[in-house]
Amino acid sequence: MIVEKAERVLEEHKLCDHCLGRLFARLGKGTNEERGKAIRFVLNMERSARGLEPIAEPEECELCHNVFERIPELVEAMEEASKDIEFETFLVGSRFPEEIKEKEKAIWEEFNIDTAEPINREFNRELGKAFGRAMEKETSKNPDLVFIVEPFSGEIELQINPVYVYGRYRKLVRRIPQTPLPDFEDSVASIICRAFSKAFEGKCVFKGAGREDVDVRTLGNGRPFIVEIKSPRRRRVDLRKIAEEINASGKVEVLNLRFVSAKEAEEVLTKNHRKEYLALVLVEEGITPEEAEEVARKLEGLEIHQRTPWRVRKARADKVRVRKVHEAEARWVDEKHFELRLVTDGGLYIKELVSGDKGRTKPSVSDLLGKKAWCERLDVLNILDE
């Protein structure tokens, strides 16, 4: 049946061995070219037995126009296009003219063929194999580099896939925002991204797992972050040297840098982290050691109903969030100050937990004391993964 159907096709259409074999791609093993040669060989043996002329492979295939013969020169063009880019894995895609794809489908319908594969799929595979052999590189479903090839014009379009790096940062000084803001010379993101952009020769996008205010330090084990380096021309980069450059700033330190997948990066950024804080609380009316300890005792295990703080209402949805205080300890400092160490759910605004934010946070330290209290200084001590 295969040979019989192939004969009917070849009597109507001048096809090369690639295009003939591709009609029966889902049958047997081997390349389409090998399949086409075998089918043509058996067919011509049978035609010879019937006293008929053989159907030779045409000088030019009416369907693909001998595009597979262009693979060696396209491999050279791909090598040239990628010569200054570091990559280990790649994938090939192609753009065939619509008239070729439509003509191929018309042949399938004309001869009731349901075992074929599209021309671009075979071409991508064969071009990929040839390029992989030439460059000693591997194909991958998640490649470093994607080639989009226009087979007839020879144009090559490159898609350099991003690199993702996980790390944790410690913000050692106050008066520095996490991301760039007017009137601030530096930010955590700019200090980190300068080093990454230079090393990878790509555009760095910084994404923190949460954020702290400009006047808040982040200490301890640091805040998790992801940098996405878009269109990197370098991938074999020493992350230790990047860390050394960032840490030399004296403002920001990075820890535990490592390469991650896009999926791992998303998980880091969507995970809800508990946080440990140290707040210096000011009570103008005065505070005793006993009052400070009583506030901490009442806070521990308490659910806080917090409406979006007044100071961030333009940047955040105005709604009430319920967050929990898991641990609270107080240390009396002087007649007007005490320190409050807290472990809370992520997303609880600590300054407003202290002040009450004119009733938008309930209960608050001010409520529990019966006196107005303010957060005079705040540090993030640790970001707790568990």
Report the catalytic residues: 213
Give the integer Cα–Cα distance in Å for 234 and 248: 23
Q: Kindly give, in sequence order, each residue whose CB lies less than 8 Å from that of residue 355, ignoring residues fewer than 6 positions away.
A: 361, 364, 365, 366, 372, 373, 374, 375
Distance from the Cα of residue 379 to its chain's centroid = 30
Q: Kindly give, in sequence order, each residue whose CB lies less than 8 Å from that of residue 373, ignoring residues fewer than 6 positions away.
A: 281, 282, 283, 354, 355, 364, 365, 366
Tell me if 277 is assigned to a ligand binding site.
Answer: yes
The residue to which tokens 């052999």 are assigned: 133
Amino acid in the structure at residue 303: E
Give the integer Cα–Cα distance in Å for 120 and 122: 6
Give the integer Cα–Cα distance in Å for 125 and 30: 13
- CA-nearest of 310, 336, 307, 341 to 323 is 307
Radius of gyration of the chain (CA): 33
Q: Which DSSP helix (H) or strand (E) runs through 194?
A: helix 188-200
Q: Answer whether 18's CB lies under 8 Å from 60's CB.
A: no
Tell me if 169 is assigned to a ligand binding site.
Answer: no
Question: Please, what's the b/e burial string for 72-109 (b: 16 or more CB within 10 A of its CB; e: otherwise)?
Answer: eebbebbeebbeebbbebbbbebebeeebeeebeebee
| Residue ranges of the binding site | 277, 349
| Residue ranges of the binding site for substrate | 277, 349
